[in-house]
Structure 1
Amino acid sequence: MAVKKIRKISSTVLIVLALIGVVAFGMTVFGGYVDPNAEYPEPIYTNVLLYTVYGMTALAVLAMIVFGIIGFAQSFKTNPKAALGGLGALVGLIVLMVITYFVGSDAPLHVGVDAQQFNTPSWLKLADMCMFTIYALIVINVLALVVTSFMSAGPKQHASASEKKA
């Protein structure tokens, strides 16, 4: 019974969020322009679409944090060692992000006037941190795939000699 209730609630939330997104997108695309004769016409409802995306992103991050904490607490009750292993992975990710932040370059870029506000050492290091962390996680994932595929394709345990005679 609980599974049906969870499925019904999650399906309803998905449909509502999808409809909100479609309505915001439709308002942006079909709502008209501030100045239709401009070289690059700006849709009237661009802010509605942006705030909708911001809200959904914030909601997703909040749900991820809350359910992560709840899942950790429940897992810690049943299997503390496994729960601490998951916490270790989170700590490892944070350490990786700190390392990649300090490895990142703070050399200014030659960009247009509009992007100059982000051409500061902290923003440049943050951008490099994001890219280097993504690259490192991709490499770690590929290595994990290769290692686990070799481990699962390793030698199979064969029946013992006494079992073969029987």
Structure 2
Amino acid sequence: MAVTKIHKTSKMVLYAIMGITVLILAVFLLGGEVPVEERVVPTISEPRFTDLLMYWVYALLAISVLVLIAFAVSDFISSWKARPKSAFRSLLVVLVFVAMLIITFAIGSGTPLNIVGYTGSENVPIFLKITDMWLYSIYLMVVVNVLALLFSPLLKSGKK
């Protein structure tokens, strides 16, 4: 009964998020362009609702991270009560993830970019290193996922 309610609730949330995303994408794609005199770079077309799309992506990212952290903490607490050894294993995964973020931040470049028409305050070393950190982390996680997809069947067949 509880599983059915969880499935229904998660399905409704997924459909709501997908509906809002499709609506925002339609507004972004069909909403027209910023007038030439208001554009950052007058020669490049600029969709009118770019900010709305970016804020929606930021909101989805923030919600995802908060839910991920909440589930990780609740899983750690519940497994700590039942099996303290496995709780430390789940904590080890979090520590490896934090170590990956620190390493990718350290190898990121802080060299300011030459961006035509940009006069904002985010083209500074700290923001550039954070951006590189996320990009390198994404690349690394994609590679790890592909390797896991390729080699996990081999590992399972080797145990038999």
Whether these two folds match at TM > 0.5 is yes
Per the alignment, residue 12 of structure 1 pairs with 12
Please list every run of 5 or more consecutive structure 2 residues that lacks an aligned counterpart in the other structure: none
Equivalent residue in structure 2 for 1:153, among 146, 150, 158:
158
Kept in 2, the 8 Å contact 1:27–1:45? The answer is: yes
Q: Distance in 2 between matches of 1:144 and 1:36?
A: 48
Partner of 2:71: 67
Verify: 1:49 aligned to 2:56, yes or no.
no
Q: Which has the higher contact order (CA 8 A, sep 6+)?
A: 2
Counterpart of 1:79 in structure 2 is 83
User: Would the alpha carbon gap of residues 8 and 149 (structure 1) be closer, same or farther in structure 2, given more than 3 Å must change?
Assistant: same
Measured in 1, the distance between the counterparts of 2:131 and 2:83 equals 37
**Would you say 1:126 and 2:130 are equivalent positions?**
yes
Structure 2: distance between partners of 1:124 and 1:62: 24
Residues of 1 paired with 2:58 and 2:99: CA distance?
Answer: 27
Q: Is this contact kept in 2: 1:29–1:43, CA < 8 A? A: yes
Identity %: 33
Q: For the structure 1 residues 137 and 41, does the alpha-carbon distance in structure 2 shift closer, same or farther, using more than 3 Å as the test?
A: closer
CA RMSD, aligned part only?
3.3
Show CA shifts across 1:79-126 (max 9, x none). 1111111101211222233234334454x3663353895554434443
Q: CA deviation at 1:153?
A: 2.4
TM-score calculated relative to the size of structure 2: 0.72
Contact 2:112 2:125 in 1 (8 A): no
Give the distance between the partners of 2:113 and 2:27, measured in 1 at CA: 36
Which entry has the higher C-alpha Rg, 1 or 2?
Answer: 1
Runs of 5+ unmatched residues, structure 1: 157-166
In the alignment, the residues of structure 1 paired with residue 99 and residue 141 of structure 2 have an alpha-carbon distance, to the nearest angstrom, of: 13
The 3 A distance-change label for structure 1 pair 115 and 29 is: same
